Amino acid sequence: MIPEYLDPKFIPKHIACVMDGNGRWAEKRGLKRTDGHTAGEKSLFDVVEGAIEIGVEWFTVFAFSTENWKRPAKEVQFLLDFNEQIIIQRQEELNERNVRICFLGRRDSKVPKRILKRMKDAEDLTESNTGLTFTVAFNYGGRAEIVDAVQKVIDSGVKRVTEKTIERNLYNPAMPDPDLVIRTSGESRVSNFLLWELAYSELVFSNTLWPDFSRKDLFKAIKEFQDRDRRFGGLGES
């Protein structure tokens, strides 16, 4: 059910989220950083349920960036294993909810083959679903995506490059630009996330650490989105 304070005619079609603050949440409690990621999984799927509940069509999360390889080896290994387990444990549940799962990012030799297979299996399992499209940005970087798109354009021999040419060569050309991008934990930057796609996205920065973020916080961010005047470079309604 859509909360009464939200306009059901103005629900964002695509919401993207930088799930920040897992490590700090754990450190505040004297726990290991990895415990924060585990706690963050519960928040993620509560928020996904909230998105389904109000009719969001696309929901994209930043799960593992191209820069995350620079983290300590133990944490990198944990994140790889953790993301693999999420795929295994949640794909059936999401499939039953008519959710389509997609992955966004480089599928190169850095990513273990078993995880690449898990990703493809999840996509194949859910490809015919017609509800929410849940996109996981994994081994993803906004600059890397643009570089890879430009390289594909060069390789194709196209002589005249336009915005449409670039868009057709992004990781998922069918994915609409996000209407709303949420970042948690009080950080106010985009951190190389969807650099091409968020050109006209509304940005909402929440002080809440990700493991404490819930669907209620999602709805609050949507309310802020609905209260804004989106002008797309023009003068807006006013």
Residues with catalytic function: 20, 68
Q: Is 62:140 a contact under the CB 8 Å cutoff?
A: yes
Q: Are 172 and 105 in contact (CB under 8 A)?
A: no
CB < 8 Å & 24+ apart, contacts of 105-112: 105/64, 105/66, 105/137, 105/138, 105/139, 105/140, 105/141, 105/144, 105/145, 105/171, 106/66, 106/139, 106/140, 106/141, 106/144, 106/148, 107/139, 108/139, 110/69, 110/139, 111/80, 111/138, 111/139, 112/80
User: Rounded distance, CA 119 to CA 115, Å?
Assistant: 6
